[in-house]
A and B are shown apart, each in its own frame.
Chain A
Amino acid sequence: DVKVTQSSRYLVKRTGEKVFLECVQDMDHENMFWYRQDPGLGLRLIYFSYDVKMKEKGDIPEGYSVSREKKERFSLILESASTNQTSMYLCASGKDPNYGYTFGSGTRLTVV
């Protein structure tokens, strides 16, 4: 089974801090995604990557950046965390859209 691992289940950070959320997959997948999930707004795509060092903006990229230096790892970076970035962050990966995507267990980030 594909495993998508998000390094932290819960994080509490202070406003203005630089925050790194890490996602690692073990199946050599080309495609990786970062979503955030908020009550009443559902899941929204932040960034995605279809290959190493390649990245594309999703629907809500403002305030975020990403890094993909190795195929298995896709990092989401909050350059200067703000309280409106308090959310559940979900990472997903997949080899090909025809085979569907697998999600990690999520990181609940609270910015105080």
Chain B
Amino acid sequence: KQEVTQIPAALSVPEGENLVLNCSFTDSAIYNLQWFRQDPGKGLTSLLLIQSSQREQTSGRLNASLDKSSGRSTLYIAASQPGDSATYLCAVSDYKLSFGAGTTVTVRA
């Protein structure tokens, strides 16, 4: 059974700092890895999708890397803003999605 772990569980940084969120998974037989954002009481918004054959994916201030052989992914958010405050979830897909518990980020103005 796929196990997905996210470290740290929570992170608080001043505005402008770069954010580094980590995700690890136990089974490397995956289609892809998806990073989501969740605001309190809301659904999940997809941020980035990295195919199993890719090493990284970028969108604006967001960059995600994937090392399938070691079972790791990292989400970088450059120059954080208060609007980046949310919970970030990583999910690996072997058809079904298996989720980590998330990292709750607070960006202080």
Instruction: Report A's interface with B, CB cutoff 8 A.
Output: 6, 31, 33, 40, 42-43, 45, 48, 58, 88, 90, 92, 97-106, 108
Per DSSP, chain A at the interface is strand
Q: Report the nearest B residue to A100, measured CB to CB.
A: B49
Residue from A42, A43, A102 whose CB has the most chain B CB atoms within 10 Å? A43
Per DSSP, chain B at the interface is strand
B32 touches A58 (CB 8 A): no
Q: Report the nearest B residue to A92, measured CB to CB.
A: B97
- Closest 8 CB pairs between A and B? A105-B43, A103-B44, A100-B49, A43-B99, A97-B31, A106-B43, A42-B101, A97-B95
Partner of B93, one of A40, A97, A103: A97
B34 touches A100 (CB 8 A): yes
Q: Report the nearest B residue to A102, measured CB to CB.
A: B46
Chain A nearest Cβ from B103, distance in angstroms: 12
CA distance A31 to B93 in the complex (A): 13
CA distance A6 to B46 in the complex (A): 17
Instruction: Using A90-B44, A106-B42 as known contacts, list a sample of 5 further A-B pairs with CB atoms less than 8 Å apart, ordered by residue number in A.
Output: A45-B97, A97-B31, A98-B32, A99-B49, A100-B34
Instruction: Report B's interface with A, CB cutoff 8 A.
Output: 31-32, 34, 36, 41-46, 49, 51, 89, 91, 93-97, 99-102
CA distance A43 to B87 in the complex (A): 13
CA distance A108 to B40 in the complex (A): 12
B43 touches A104 (CB 8 A): yes
Residue from B36, B43, B45, B96 whose CB has the most chain A CB atoms within 10 Å? B43
B32 touches A100 (CB 8 A): yes
Can you report 27 A-B residue pairs in the complex whose CB atoms are below 8 A from each other? Answer: A6-B43, A31-B95, A33-B96, A33-B97, A42-B99, A42-B100, A42-B101, A42-B102, A43-B91, A43-B99, A45-B97, A58-B96, A88-B41, A92-B97, A97-B94, A97-B95, A98-B51, A100-B32, A100-B34, A100-B49, A100-B93, A101-B46, A102-B46, A103-B45, A106-B42, A106-B43, A108-B41
CA distance A86 to B102 in the complex (A): 21
